[in-house]
Structure 1
């Protein structure tokens, strides 16, 4: 069981980031620009989320990615 409880909006952001990253890896060259821009925007939103203040550390970010993968 995880010791981290993340807000739903943060989990949803991480899941969107992972979905966008997967789509970028599988995309054709002409659709990559929009996906790269979306990935960058999501990265900024993730990094600036209020949950990270004060910073809980790198293990929390790994756990966030793991929990987000389990979302439907």
Structure 2
């Protein structure tokens, strides 16, 4: 799937999900309840985004591509 086909808000939600997941995975953190709540809100936002209704046949592959793109974009920003 063409990576540019994803809406910016969907890619940003996936980036936020990844960052929240990483924060939650850090040992010895306090405030995990709020992080878990944020993670759930982001998961719902990603899962029910209108983009998926327009692309139902390619959804599993597209979801994988979305996660890959969000990770790649973040690593490119860090490297710059």
Tell me which interval the TM-score lies in, with the shorter structure as reference length: 0.7 to 0.9
Shift of the 12–37 alpha-carbon distance from structure 1 to 2, 3 Å rule, reads: same
Between the two proteins, the alignment pairs up a number of residues equal to 71
Q: CA deviation at 1:20?
A: 0.3
Supply the distance in 1 between the matched residues of 2:29 and 2:66 (Cα, whole angstroms): 30
Superposition CA RMSD, Å: 1.5
Q: CA deviation at 1:28?
A: 2.9
* Pairing 1:1-72 to 2, within 5 Å after superposition: 2-4=1-3, 5-54=5-54, 55=56, 56-71=58-73, 72=77
TM-score by length of 2: 0.79
Structure 1 moving runs of 4+ over 3 Å: none
* CA offset digits 1:30-69 (Å, max 9, x no partner): 3110100000000010011000004232010000000001
Q: Which moved more, 1:57-66 or 1:47-56?
A: 47-56
Supply the distance in 1 between the matched residues of 2:47 and 2:27 (Cα, whole angstroms): 25
